[in-house]
Amino acid sequence: MEKDMERRLYADTGAPEGSPVVNPDPRTLGDSSNIQLFNEQLKLLNSGLTEEDRLNFCDTPPEVIKPFRGHWENFLNWARSESLWILGFGTGCGAIELRPLMTSRFDMYQYGIQPRPTPRQSSIFVIGGYASVKTMKRIVRSYEQMQGPKFVLGLGSCTINGGMYYDSYNTVNRLDHYIPVDVYIAGCMPRPEALLAGLMELKTIIKEGRGEGANKYAENFEWYKANQKRIIKDWNMPDYNW
Amino acid sequence: MNIELYKNLENSFGVTSLEVKNRNQSYIRVKKEMAVPLITHLKLVESYKHLSFFTIIDQIEKGEFELLYMLHSYSRNHDLGIIVSIERHETDMESIHHLWPAAETYQRELREMFGVEFPDSPGLYENFCLEGWEGIPPMRREFDTKRYSEDTFYKRPGRETNDPAKYMKEKIYPSEAETW
Amino acid sequence: MLSAILTKTFYTFISLMVILNYALLLIGSMARIRAKVQGRVGQPVWQPYIDIIKNYGKRTAVTHGVMFYLGPVFRLAGGLGTYLFMPVVYGFVMFENFSFSGDLLLVMYFIFFGQLGMALGAGESGHPYSPLGVSRGLAQMTAFELPFALAVISIVAQYGTLSITEIVAAQQGGWQNWVAFTNPFAMIAGMLAFLGMSMQNPFSVVIAPQEIPIGPPTEMHSAFLGMLQTNRAIFNGAKMVLFMNLFWGGATHKYLLVAILIMVVKTFLIYLYVNIVGASFPRFKTEQSIRFFLGVPTIIGIIAVILQSI
């Protein structure tokens, strides 16, 4: 009997032509406005975790850390822009464009850019192309583990508006609703030259002191979390990954 | 395909409608009950030892799913596709994970994407690609993926779509485009 | 008394600054040379400075416990200990550091010490790749300690002293007096061990970025990583100075600047040798490098010891 019920959920009568398509509205399935993030002490609830797991994770939300003023911050921003360490996480097909950058033809090392295998040490996250919902979960986790100031570079049209996958059930259309993005590079695929141009653009943004994505994330934490939790249905990780 | 082999299979398994695509590729159809015995026979006796892929075609107009088992024989240098039709309501199918352990991954995927159940297949309800999916499996044709995407993800305004063929013609042959 | 202490502090500070800046520039220029070998332009020579400034300038940091703090501190203590207990330039008070009659033993101990401290800190981080990298590092270290120790024993037997200053003093008076020529077997064993010690390419499995992301410092970030990078420079400089002192006659001259220049040229050549090997050979697996060190280098080391003790 139970199995019968279960099957009814999946099995649908072969819809005759012209009949209206019955589609569950995802907004009614997982209502984002009901997501509760904080308890009374303004600590994260971590409701996705089990009781004993909760003790192992930090429940402090991210904080806005004000930049220094004047020349000191300018100097630090210069150092940040001249030493960009890319997180080696190829999230989509665009990651293939990162490899030529290491080779002798494009050689990103001469601009102070190098790959780094761990999110803890890297400062720039290149989202290479489409971000599926499953990858989005990993992207959020990796992004939150990076130490601020951190920058995100959206590579390819898919990160801008979904690109050729704009109508896919599994591809995130606008990346900047889930994590703050500093630079977009349009194209499908952009060539490595375009990627280098984007990195140079990012450098000027950092030098002008506009690369405050981490603070933006902390300021609009609830909005980002609501967006993320709306698409990531099985949220079995802490609300903020330190 | 060897016509003798087809005759054999026709007699013993009720195989129908042989379709020869070329020298190295042909397709046969078989009833749902005889499918797994046939595949077992092909693997153990007729040297079709390799499962190339296993997928489903949603024939919504006929109200059925077509399961396609693609087998390959190294000694015959031949691909054999076995098409099994099942009703869209009756989405149970016998598992073939005992023949190829790798088939359980295919079956996990098909369970997730089409909602076809393979009882006793190990790890059938584990996540394959979608995590925590609710509602109609997305590869079924009655699932409106565009509408789902519009409802779920945030659209960026200002997106333009062109018909590729028309657009290319206009770009490449602008003078002739006026006459069309 | 007080003025003596202050003078010593000042001298130590100067000597530390010299080796830190020199080693950072050396690391940067060697990265550039490696890039040229690969047909690239390569990073600027001052890139290590920028990296260190950036890492210290990070706004957030996460800790995993007390040992996580102490890991980089121990590592830095290892680097400083190696450097501060040997003379950098022979014959000048300013660069004599805290060398004393038994400093060779202490320096050898300190080379090991940093790794052990790092092992504690990396273990605390809880990342599985960190202990993996540490275990590889310690295994490899145990292997290359053997030819290195044999080479040192041979030199100690040759000159009958455990003081680096005296070993350098005994090598003065021309290149024919250098250990490299008076005791070539010890030199070969030592220089082969140095390849493993500097963790350049054939023996870089410890921090292999492709398989175990960056190894022991996987979880180290922000200022922790900045500290490790600072230490890396000092430690590299210290090791090169040690090998220069042990095998290549140290650095000395009538004038301090010329003596420092000699030190720079010799250590540059020693590091260049490591980089030439690194650019030419692919990476060894852990067991391969252990087999390598326990093979030919150890035999050469034993020969060196036997020849000296006859």
A223 Cα to chain C: minimum distance (Å): 22
Tokens of residue A31, six digits: 């209502």
Chains A and C touch (3+ CB pairs under 8 A): yes
Beta carbons of A163 and A190 less than 8 angstroms apart:
no
Domains of chain C, by residue range, sit at: 2-309
- Inside any domain, residue A72: no
Quick one: average pLDDT of C78-84?
89
Interface contact flag, A26 B151, Cβ < 8 Å: yes
From C148, C159, C162, select the one nearest C197 (Cα to Cα).
C148
Q: Binning pLDDT at 50, 70 and 90, where does residue C211 land?
A: low
- Inside any domain, residue A43: no
Interface contact flag, A104 C51, Cβ < 8 Å: no
Residue A84 pLDDT exceeds 90 = yes
For A87, the closest chain C residue by CA position comes to C213
Instruction: State the angle between helix axes of C66-84 and C2-37 in degrees (0 to 180), rounded to the nearest 10.
Output: 100
Measured CA to CA, the distance from residue A85 to residue C58 in angstroms comes to 13
Q: Binning pLDDT at 50, 70 and 90, where does residue B98 land?
A: very high
Residue B39 pLDDT exceeds 60 = yes
Q: Binning pLDDT at 50, 70 and 90, where does residue C124 land?
A: confident
- Structural domains counted in chain A: 1
Q: Mean of the per-residue pLDDT values for chain C?
A: 89
Residue A121 pLDDT exceeds 50 = yes
A22 or C77: which leads in pLDDT: C77
Q: Which residues pair with A86 in a beta bridge?
A: A115, A124
Show Cβ contacts of residue B85 under 8 Å, excluding neighbours closer than 6 positions: B29, B32, B59, B62, B64, B65, B66, B67
The owner of tokens 């590092």 is C137
H or E segment and range at residue B22: strand B16-22
How much of chain A exceeds pLDDT 70, in percent?
A: 86
| CB neighbour class for B54 (10 Å; exposed up to 12, middle 13-18, buried from 19) | buried
Q: Strands B16-22 and B25-30: what pairing?
A: antiparallel
pLDDT, position A3: 44
Domains of chain B, by residue range, sit at: 3-157
Q: Binning pLDDT at 50, 70 and 90, where does residue C131 land?
A: confident
Torsion A79-A80-A81-A86 (CA) sign: positive
Beta carbons of A198 and A155 less than 8 angstroms apart:
yes
Quick one: average pLDDT of A122-141?
91
Q: Residues of chain A whose C-beta is under 8 A from some C-beta in C?
A: 65, 67, 75-76, 79-80, 82-83, 88, 103-104, 107, 109-110, 112, 114-118, 120-121, 123, 147-149, 214, 242
Interface contact flag, A11 B130, Cβ < 8 Å: no
For A3, the closest chain B residue by CA position comes to B117
Contacts of A29 in chain B (CB under 8 A): 134-135
Out of A88, A104, A120, the one facing C221 most closely (by C-beta) is: A120
Measured CA to CA, the distance from residue C261 to residue C30 in angstroms comes to 18
Task: Please state which architecture CATH assigns to domain B3-157.
Answer: 2-Layer Sandwich (3.30)
State the virtual CA torsion across B164, B167, B168, B171 in degrees, nearest 10.
-160
| CB neighbour class for B112 (10 Å; exposed up to 12, middle 13-18, buried from 19) | buried
Interface contact flag, C41 A109, Cβ < 8 Å: yes
Tokens of residue A108, six digits: 């990103």
- Inside any domain, residue A125: yes
- Inside any domain, residue A5: no
Q: How many CB pairs under 8 A join A and C?
A: 85
Beta carbons of A168 and B145 less than 8 angstroms apart:
yes
For A234, the closest chain B residue by CA position comes to B132
DSSP states of B115-162: --B-TT-TTTTS-SSSSS--SS-TTSTTS-HHHHHHHHSPPPS-----
Beta carbons of B76 and B47 less than 8 angstroms apart:
yes
Tokens of residue A178, six digits: 């889930």
The owner of tokens 């789902």 is B148
SS3 B19: strand
DSSP states of A103-130: STTT-GGGGTEEEESSTTT--EEEEES-
pLDDT, position A8: 36
- Inside any domain, residue A76: no
Give the range of the structural domain holding residue A222, as residue numbers without chain letter.
Answer: 85-231
